[in-house]
Amino acid sequence: MIEKKRKLGKGLNALIRTAPENEYITIPLEVVVPTEDQPRKNFDQQRLNELAESIKQYGIIQPIVVKKESGKYRIVAGERRFRAAKIAGLTELKAIIFKGEEDYQISLIENLQREDLNPIEVAEAYAELIKRFDYSQQQLADKVGKSRSEISNCMRLLNLSGKIQDLVRNGTVSVGQARPLAVLEKDEQELILSRIIENHLTARQVEKMAKTKAEKLTSKKDMDQEWHKMEKDISATTNAKVQIKPGNTGISITLNFSRKSDLEKFYKKIKPGR
């Protein structure tokens, strides 16, 4: 059964460039299967039930997009609507047959535009789109209707340790608490994580703590680079392997000469009264 054509929503329609003459069809739910590459890992049951109630009253306003595959229709975009339709007791639903090559992209972007995804899932989806379609952050921002800074800030969450990402996924740690940690090394992140959990630190407190830690690490890194330059300069003039170690009470320097002649030349240079 072919139904009257309707315009797609702007975001999805802009992506379906290879199928300008899409038509809605009605297909039995029993032949519809979810995609194995669904970007969304979890579906909120309460929200599904709410959508199901809406579908009972008004039907499915926006059709799902499917790809015909071995006698079945695999979902490209609209799995949430599909699940809610099953809850609502529907036996069939509206769909658009899509045959383009960008179905994975459509699935990702459709979810990003229509769902409150877990923030880590959003970041992973952004990273996947950039990697898979060679987008710049600005190009991706234009695709999903976000600013470039929003994309950048979200993707920064992927710099977090796996443990912290999992805690953000399940809501134990908020995005506000976690994001400031992304500038730190993984071990430093988890040290502060312990304090977040034990002391119930606010996002502002975490931000201040992470900033202080990052400044100290930057200062130490700069100093380490300075020591390293000194080691190279001294080594170049002495032909020795040089190691400088700053300590609490002073700075030690070790010169390792591989040849006696080099040591003798060095000694002559520093010999008193030369």
Q: Give the mean pLDDT of 234-239.
A: 85
β-strands 92-97, 24-28 pairing: antiparallel
Question: Mean pLDDT score of the chain, rounded to an integer?
Answer: 79
| Least confidently predicted of 19-23, 84-88, 214-218, 269-273 | 19-23
Structural domain harbouring 237: 222-270
Please say if the pLDDT value at position 9 is more than 50. no
Number of domains, the chain: 3
Confidence of residue 174 (pLDDT cuts 50, 70, 90): very high
Determine, yes or no, domain membership for 153. no
User: In which band, very low, low, confident or very high, does the pLDDT at 127 lie, cut at 50, 70 and 90?
Assistant: confident
Of 49, 84, 117, the residue that ends a domain is: 117
Take residue 194 and report the two structure tokens written for it: 């312990």
Instruction: Check whether 157 has a pLDDT greater than 90.
Output: yes
Q: 152 in a domain, yes or no?
A: no
- Top pLDDT among 124 and 189 is at 189
Q: Residue 199: which pLDDT band, with cuts at 50, 70 and 90? A: very high
251 neighbors 227 (Cβ within 8 angstroms): no
The model's confidence at residue 16, banded by pLDDT at 50, 70 and 90, is very low
Confidence band of 103 (pLDDT split at 50, 70, 90): low
Q: Has residue 29 been placed in a domain?
A: yes
Query: 238 and 167, same structural domain?
Result: no
Q: Which residues does the annotation mark as catalytic?
A: 79
∠242-244-249 over CA atoms, to 5°?
150
Are 17 and 108 within one domain? yes
Annotate 156-210 with DSSP letters as a single string. Answer: GGGGS-HHHHHHHHTTSS-HHHHGGGGGS-HHHHHHHHHHHHHHT--HHHHHHHH
* 104 and 25 belong to one structural domain: yes
Q: Which helix (H) or strand (E) holds 109?
A: helix 103-114
Q: Are residues 21 and 108 in the same domain?
A: yes
Q: In sequence order, what are the beta bridge partners of 92?
A: 28
Phi/psi of residue 115, each to 5°?
A: -125, 150
DSSP 8-73: PPHHHHHH--S-TT--EEEEEGGGEE--TT-S-----HHHHHHHHHHHHHH--SSPEEEEEETTEE
Q: What is the pLDDT of residue 101?
A: 53
Place of tokens 């579906």: 43
Residues with Cβ within 8 Å of 105's Cβ and at least 6 positions away in sequence, in order, are 15, 129, 132, 133
Separation between Cα atoms, residue 221 and residue 231, nearest integer Å? 15
Give tens-digit pLDDT for 208-232.
998 888 777 666 676 677 778 888 8
Region 46-51 average pLDDT: 82
